[in-house]
């Protein structure tokens, strides 16, 4: 069993913002594999289904980004999976818009959602997919930037990145993280 978690913030105010790309990825996976997000549990909007025969739980934590670890801890405990059996999808400002970077483990890198998950799980050893949202312009505040929406000219790159994230999850489940890293960690 795998749990795929997309980080973001609840409420319409944050929909389609750079910081909510993880939530958007879960919506895309839900659509691609016909897994309805139809129940709230563990401080998250969840769905249960299968990807290539593997049981998966999709989750969009509703704790707000900085408290994502609360939801992830509940999910891991309830479903009795190890941190290596989760996949966390989130935004990364150090990557170009639409670029993916898959990692087996790592530090928070300044991302408060990941920092919260590391604190609650007590480990940095969990797979993740980072989706590039681009670096903030020099004169912007970081919080304002990640809570901004994508520009029209970035929309196609984001659609492609969400498709890639969905396919990368399938590959991580069926072929392993190494193969997914080989395919998706190349710069476009």
Distance in angstroms (rounded) separating the CA atoms of residues 66 and 116:
6
Distance in angstroms (rounded) separating the CA atoms of residues 153 and 25:
19
DSSP state of 152: G
Residue among 19, 42, 111, 120 flagged as catalytic: 19
Structure tokens at 29: 């996976």
Contact 59, 26 (CB under 8 A): yes
Structure tokens at 44: 């998250």
Catalytic residue list contains 19: yes
Query: How many other C-beta atoms can be found within 10 angstroms of the C-beta atom of residue 182?
Result: 13
Contact 125, 83 (CB under 8 A): yes
Q: Catalytic site residues?
A: 19
């Amino acid at each position: 069993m795998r749990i795929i978690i997309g980080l973001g913030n609840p409420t319409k105010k944050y929909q389609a913002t750079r910081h909510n790309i993880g939530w958007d990825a879960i919506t895309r996976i839900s659509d691609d594999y016909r897994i309805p997000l139809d129940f709230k549990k563990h401080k998250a909007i969840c769905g249960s289904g299968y990807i290539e025969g593997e049981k998966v739980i999709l989750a969009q934590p509703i704790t707000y980004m900085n408290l994502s670890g609360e939801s992830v801890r509940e999910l891991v405990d309830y479903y009795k999976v190890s941190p290596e059996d989760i996949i966390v999808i989130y935004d990364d400002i150090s990557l170009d818009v639409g670029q993916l970077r898959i990692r087996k483990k790592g530090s928070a890198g300044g991302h408060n959602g990941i920092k919260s998950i590391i604190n609650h799980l007590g480990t940095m050893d969990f797979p993740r997919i980072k989706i590039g949202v681009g670096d903030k312009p020099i004169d912007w505040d970081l919080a304002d930037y990640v809570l901004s929406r994508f520009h029209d000219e970035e929309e196609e790159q984001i659609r492609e990145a969400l498709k890639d994230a969905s396919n990368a999850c399938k590959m991580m489940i069926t072929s392993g993280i190494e193969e997914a890293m080989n395919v998706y960690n190349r710069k476009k």
